[in-house]
Structure 1
Amino acid sequence: MNRPPLQGLYAITDARLTPGERLLERVAAALRGGARWVQYRDKGSDGSRRLAEARALAELCHQHGAGLIVNDDIELAAASGADGVHIGRDDVELDSARARLGKQAVIGVSCYNRLKLAEDATAKGADYVAFGSVFPSPTKPEAARADLALLREARARLALPICAIGGIDATNAAVVAATGVDMLAVISGVFGRDDSEGAAGEIVRAMEAGIGVPGL
Structure 2
Amino acid sequence: MNSSISGVYLVTPDCDDTERLCAQVSLALQGGVSVVQYRHKTASADLRYTQASALLALCRQANVPFLINDHVALAASLDADGVHIGQHDGAITEARAVLGKHKMIGASCYNRFALAVQAQAMGADYVAFGACYPSSTKPEAPKASPDLFTQAKQTLSVPVVGIGGITVANAPPLIAAGADALAVITDIFSASDIAARCQQYQSLFTSH
Please indicate, yes or no, whether the TM-score normalized by the shorter chain is above 0.5: yes
Secondary structure, counterpart of 2:83 in structure 1: strand
Instruction: Pick closer, same or farther for the CA change 1:186–1:60 going to 2, 3 Å.
Output: same
Deviation readout 1:131-181 (Å, 9 max, x if unpaired) = 011111121111111111121111111111111111112112222111122
Q: 2:134 matched to which residue of 1?
A: 136
Q: 2:10 matched to which residue of 1?
A: 11
In 2, Cα distance between the equivalents of 1:104 and 1:3? 13
What is the deviation of 1:72?
0.3
What is the deviation of 1:44?
2.8
In 1, Cα distance between the equivalents of 2:190 and 2:205? 19
1:114-133 equivalence runs, <5 A: 114-133=112-131
TM-score, with length taken from structure 1:
0.91
Indicate yes or no: 2:102 matched with 1:78: no
The alignment's C-alpha RMSD in Å is 1.6
Unaligned runs of 5+ residues in structure 2 are: none
Q: 1:214 matched to which residue of 2?
A: none
Q: 2:182 matched to which residue of 1?
A: 184
Deviation readout 1:156-210 (Å, 9 max, x if unpaired) = 1111111111111211222211112211100111112122111111111123223
In 1, Cα distance between the equivalents of 2:43 and 2:152? 36
What is the deviation of 1:100?
0.2
Runs of 4+ in 1 over 6 A off after TM superposition: none
Secondary structure, counterpart of 2:109 in structure 1: strand
Q: 2:45 matched to which residue of 1?
A: 47
Q: 2:154 matched to which residue of 1?
A: 156
* Alignment: residue pair count: 208
**Percent sequence identity over matched residues?**
42
Secondary structure, counterpart of 1:143 in structure 2: coil
Instruction: Pick closer, same or farther for the CA change 1:12–1:91 going to 2, 3 Å.
Output: farther
Q: Which amino acid is the alignment partner of residue 4 of structure 1? A: S
Secondary structure, counterpart of 1:178 in structure 2: helix
Unaligned runs of 5+ residues in structure 1 are: 211-216
1:160-179 equivalence runs, <5 A: 160-179=158-177
Secondary structure, counterpart of 2:177 in structure 1: coil
What is the deviation of 1:93?
1.0
TM-score, with length taken from structure 2:
0.94
